[in-house]
Structure 1
Amino acid sequence: MGFSAASHQSADETQLSELVLKGPSAVTRFHTLGEMLARSAERAPDTAFLKQRIDGGWRTLSYEQALAGAKRIASFLTECGLSADRPLAILSGNSIDHALLSLGAMVAGIPVAPISVAYSQFSDLTRLREILAILTPGLVFAENGATFANALALADELNVPVIVSANPRSDSSDRIWTKLLEAAPEQVDEASVTSDTIAKVLFTSGSTGTPKGVIVTHGMMCSNQDAMAQLWRFLDDEPPVIVDWLPWNHIFGGTLVFNCALRNAGTLVIDEGRPVPGQFDATIRNLVEARPSVHFGVPRGYGELIDALERDEDFAKAYFSRLRTIFTAGAALPADLWTRLHDLAARYGRPDLRIHVSWGATETAPVVTLSPPDNTQAGNLGVPVPGAEVKLVPNEDKLELRVRGPMVTPGYWRSPELTAQAFDAAGFYRIGDAGKLFEDGDPAKGILFDGRTAENFKLVTGTWVQVGGLRLAVLEACAPLVQEAAIAGHDRDEIGLLIFPNFAACRETAGLPNASSEELVANSEIRKAITRTLGKVGDGKGSSTRIGRALLVSTPPSLEAGEMTDKGYLNQRAVLRERADLVERLYAEPTHPDVIIPDRHSSI
């Protein structure tokens, strides 16, 4: 059975109608991560599953080694007293040790909770304390005892045993897990692990309160990978080669990307680089050496990638040499990046390269929709993947998106009230996004993202402002000078922006390679350029999209304050809350000299 849609027409023809889109019937092949690992070890025992650059060389883990190690670790963790109620907490980032411990826990039916590295590095460990209190782990792991000393001291305070890979703290009971592992047998009872067994507990950023622990089951992850395999048939014959930096405490990197390699006997190169100036050279080196066949990423990462590809022909030739497909999700890819990426692919012999846009959440493990192969628009989220249902429900003047299917979480860790609030009476998860059909009357063409229902607000006139779409319009109009923008204006007369400039692009535009961020936000040429481009946003479309004023911000969004996630996504509400003084300056009367008033009369 293929894609289908059912509409429930409102009695009032002027009102929006409810619509349910259903993906094709799902084909289930795997029920647990242990099954995936065993199958790949049988299919390709000597293939490098994971590669990690250490001290200039490569550490490699084959599938045969991964399976044997996972079973030994499963036995070890069980002997340590870990269970479904006493999970494993991992504080450090992506690594082979991290992967082995995670796989071992999941093979044993023990939930694993990878926690953002940043939470252990903050001066204030309140967020980490809250997570550990909710989780009640039986064991905490950190790669380096010295680097995570403060966080491990918190674990001591909470009476949670600690294991490390290296540098145990002096005067502590830290144990080096590899030595303890030597005595563990390669056997564990896996029969009790089913598709309903909790595999992971993933904590959201908690920017609006105590972090929530999203339950991720084996069945959620397996159904997602089986659905992707139904759509990406080439994976059966071409095990993927992936280079990726996305943090494993997030569903994208730690579940979708990691499991894509695992299920299909592919190779995942753990990228130590990041899509930020000064750290992206490491990513380029890894991409050149590994030459990926599938590339996963988020818009911020693709911006850095495209700039580098346009500058370096040798890099571009290596990158596109065997690339089959590109996958982007998490936020809309700006149209200029979409066009430039397609142009580069065509220039280097890949005019047929497919760029897939996807949509989902931590609670959906994560893929719900995938854009069709013939898609030509960056904003098209696609149609439901096999097994998924997406319901579009009228909400004010929008259609709220809700999700049901085997990839959807059963709820939140030890939070029955939050779980009950997250689902409607028909069992659809309330994801908090709005959408609309890409083409009226033809659901098979896909869904357009139409903002976050919780982020949208009304001006004092009663006019609704759709934050998601407006933010994207601002970024596209002001590229490349603007990196991010927070949309303000709730109960105000007009829309205002807090703009985070792209300082590298601003320095190039202004011809000031050594200018500070403070100098750049005050630079007349930069301010004039942004004044002109903002005047074109929403021009002639009314107050819901017209920018009234803007303020350039010299300090980047703060990870510790929750303004930015470690994947590079901006949290609108956190920015407006943490920078309330700037919002007041933005709307102060008389107008503050730092405020930009868009020019609606000049041509660009």
Structure 2
Amino acid sequence: MNTHGEAKPRLHDRLLPVDESCKVESRADGSFLIRRNIPLEAYPHRCTELLLRWAREVPDRVFIAQRPREVIREHAWEEWTYGMTLAAVRSLGQALLDRRLSVERPVMILSENQIENQLLALACSHVGVPYIPVAPAYSLQAKDHDQLKWLAALCRPGLVYASSSVAYRRAVKAAFPQVEWVTGQCDGDDATPLDALLRTEPTAAVERAYEAISPNQPVKVLFTSGTTGRPKGVIFTHEMICCNRQQLIQTLPAIYAQPPVLVDWLPWHHTFGGTFCVGIALTGGGSFYIDPGQPVPGRIDGTLQALREIAPTFYGSTPGGMAALLPHLSSDEPLRKNFFSRLRVMNYGGALCPPHVRRGFDEVTHQAGGEVSYISIGGSTECGPCALVTMRDPGCEPIMGVPVPGMEVKLAPVDDKLELRFKGPSVTPGYWRQPELNERAFDEEGFFRLGDAASFVDLPGGDLRLRLEGRLAENFKLITGTWVNTETLRLKALAAFAALARDVVIVGEGQSEVGALVFPNLDVCRTLDPSLPDGADPDRIVASVAVRGTFEQRLGALNADQGSAGRIVRLMLEPEPPTIDSGELTAKQSVSPLAVLRRRAAAVEALFQEPVVPRVIRWKGSNGS
């Protein structure tokens, strides 16, 4: 029994199969092992093997395209076919070999998504030189470039690529003063033009380097966001990437029923965009159109125009990106018609989808007459990234699917939770030149510790699935000793507030009651108060009696019939939204709770002050109200 006399939830002890093709094993130490019975089929062992195939079979098919820099008009795309791409990769590969680049002297890419970026990445993969894509913000937004200098010292690159010598000069000179740097746009600087590398005549050395690649050789290093400290460099090997692509083929063959077409904005220095989405196009001999915009305020126009012109068959996004796109799909019939005209699979990841966003996509899909499979993939950068795939639409629930073939999943007891852990050929061997991190990242059996809690849950029809229970590090205890599941409560809050809230961060560790910082949708909230003019100041919007009253009403509905760990007693509307610059918003457009708590410590302190400060909305059912 817990401190409130409620029965403590037991770990699920019904050993029903998670799926007909899965087996669950209960072990004496309280852990569970889940495996697919479906065998993992053969797959390539070099990342560019499929590039060679498609360049041979469909040399004139578009592989990658982007808007021309010089031309901004409708229907203008710079397109590179598979044949053109392979020719460029061979030339660039020769240039890399001429510079004696290697695992000890890798290539670092500082720039945003561009054709040249991808050509260089493929060339590195083709001749066995690891590449390291880095968030452009480290170069373009930082003041002292401390993070970039730290990465330079850790990685010791032999060549640095940046799209523009003008935009990146200060960062390169600060962090890489002695390293050759290559640019796509060279403006009379000491940088080497990329065109010079592209003009290199390939020799037999390129093919010898390709043939010499071993499956466990590093392809690239992706640095995680580092919200809890310095970034961690996740090693991707050839086997890891090739294996994960085969696992997806076997799990979701519908993606490859025809050559996939993607219009994608997700950044390549993250695994969702740079590994998963690019991999879908390359695996299926498809076409990847680089989204010239981004589904965020001020940049979405480029996205909308691209989606009016190019109809995707697969679309990947974050819940934040979906929320930004939804009102345009609702109001713009030509956009909606083209977007859904051949869309078959839509994957959302990086965070759980708010209910009003998911319902909205159901509505626009129906309006367009589309037939779309909505999926959510579980895993992490360290897992390739795809470890668990839903076999049915998860809706807004944190329901995860079955392991991909060849992946072994362990649920290990940690306190009174079960932690997700993974082992298989698509799991990283470790972190780049950070051996101290490996000791903590893997358990005694070699399973990677994800840091997420999970539980078993029965679904209609008798199927058993895994339910995500939030980050172990983000869940917390009240002063009463009661655990608060932050992700479950966050989802309930988003469902209750619906379109009024963009996101919610649950707080209250060491307090007697749960609180929340709410990032309101200011445009929607403004409509609640007719006295507020267009363009009203955010502080004025969140101070509106009508706005606060609506949140208070919905807070009451949220808390009805909930125990102490399931109700939010205090909330504060935050007029300043999270941003990438502040570190509170990741490049995937998901909120980092740890960064929010660190940056807004004063707001959290004010939330729990007594007497209650004016900014705080307190649930009327709480004691002392």
Distance 1:66 1:345 in 2: 35
How many residue pairs get aligned? The number is 592
Return the match for 1:42 from 46, 49, 56. Answer: 56
- In structure 2, which of residues 179, 198, 218 is the aligned counterpart of residue 198 of structure 1? 218
Q: Does 1:468 align with 2:468?
A: no
Q: What is the Cα deviation at residue 388 of structure 1?
A: 1.2
How far apart are 1:538 and its partner, in Å? 4.0
Deviates more, 1:184-193 or 1:489-498: 184-193
Partners in 2 of 1:345 and 1:581 — Cα distance? 43
Question: Which letter does structure 2 place at the counterpart of 1:337?
Answer: V
Aligned partner of 1:596 in structure 2 is 617
| 1:427-469 C-alpha deviation (Å, 9 max, x unpaired) | 1100011112231799954321110011111111111111111
Question: Counterparts of 1:212 and 1:417 in 2: how far apart (Å)?
Answer: 11
Partner of 1:342: 362
Which residue in 1 is equivalent to 2:518?
Answer: 499
Match of 2:605 in 1: 584
Residues 439-454 of structure 1 mapped to structure 2, 5 A cutoff = 439=458, 445-454=464-473
Structure 2: how far apart are the matches of 1:42 and 1:444? Answer: 44
Cα distance between partner residues in 2 of 1:167 and 1:176: 6
In the alignment, which residue of structure 1 is the partner of 2:108?
A: 89
SS of the residue corresponding to residue 510 of structure 1 reads coil
State the shift of 1:374 in Å: 6.3
Equivalent in the alignment of 1:291: 311
Select between 175-184 and 66-75 the one with higher mean Cα deviation.
Answer: 175-184
In structure 1, distance between residues paired with 2:365 and 2:185: 43
Indicate whether 1:244 and 2:264 are aligned: yes
State how far apart, in whole Å, the 2-side matches of 1:204 and 1:156 are: 21
TM superposition shift of 1:18: 2.2
Partner of 1:110: 129
The CA deviation string for residues 543-567 of structure 1, in whole angstroms up to 9 with x for no partner, is: 1121111111121224234221111
Which residue of structure 1 aligns with residue 447 of structure 2?
428
Q: How much is the aligned-residue C-alpha RMSD, in angstroms?
A: 2.0
Rate the CA distance shift 1:333–1:99 in 2: closer, same or farther, 3 A. same
Calculate the TM-score normalised by the size of structure 2. 0.91
Write out the 4+ residue segments of structure 1 that deviate beyond 3 Å after TM superposition. 234-237, 373-378, 440-445, 508-512
Deviation at 1:47, TM superposition (A): 0.5
- Distance in 2 (alpha carbons) for counterparts of 1:124 and 1:499: 32
- Trace 1:94-173 onto structure 2 (pairs within 5 A): 94-121=113-140, 122-157=142-177, 159-168=178-187, 172-173=189-190
- 1:87-124 deviations in whole A, cap 9, x for unaligned? 11011100000000000011111111110011112223
**Which residue type is aligned with residue 43 of structure 1?**
E
Aligned to 1:510: 529
Counterpart position of 2:8 = none
Deviates more, 1:229-238 or 1:439-448: 439-448
**1:359-414 CA deviation, whole Å, 9 max, x = no partner?**
11110111111111465664322111111121112222221111111110000001
Asked whether the 8 Å contact 1:507–1:520 carries over to 2, the reply is yes
CA contact (8 A) 1:363 1:408 kept: yes
Question: Take 1:105 and 1:179, find their aligned partners in 2: how far apart are those partners?
Answer: 16
SS at match of 1:148: helix
Q: 2:582 matched to 1:565?
A: no
Give me the whole-angstrom Cα distance separating, in 1, the residues matched to 2:352 and 2:230: 27
Q: CA deviation at 1:236?
A: 4.5
Partner in structure 1 of residue 416 of structure 2? 397
Give structure 1 stretches of 5+ with no counterpart. 12-16
TM-score (norm 1): 0.94
| Kept after mapping to 2: 8 A contact 1:338/1:378 | no
**Which residues in structure 2 correspond to 1:172-571 (within 5 Å)?**
172-185=189-202, 187=204, 188=206, 189=208, 190-350=210-370, 352-373=371-392, 378-439=397-458, 445-511=464-530, 512-571=533-592
Q: Distance in 1 between matches of 2:474 and 2:536?
A: 34
Q: Give distance in 2, aligned partners of 1:493 and 1:397.
A: 21
Deviation, structure 1 residue 33: 1.2
Structure 2: segments with no counterpart, 5+ residues: 1-18
C-alpha distance in 2 between matches for 1:375 and 1:569: 19
Name 1:22's counterpart in structure 2. Answer: 35
Residue type at the aligned position of 1:32: R
Q: Cα–Cα, structure 1 residues 42 and 249, in superposed 2: closer, same or farther, change >3 Å?
A: same
Deviations 1:519-571 (A, max 9, x none): 21212211111111122334322111211111111212242342211111111
Superposed CA deviations along residues 178-213 of structure 1, whole A, max 9, x for unmatched, are: 124313325402112122110110111112222111
Contact residue 141 and residue 163 of structure 1 kept, 8 A:
yes
- 2:5 matched to which residue of 1? none
Contact 1:360 1:368 in 2 (8 A): yes
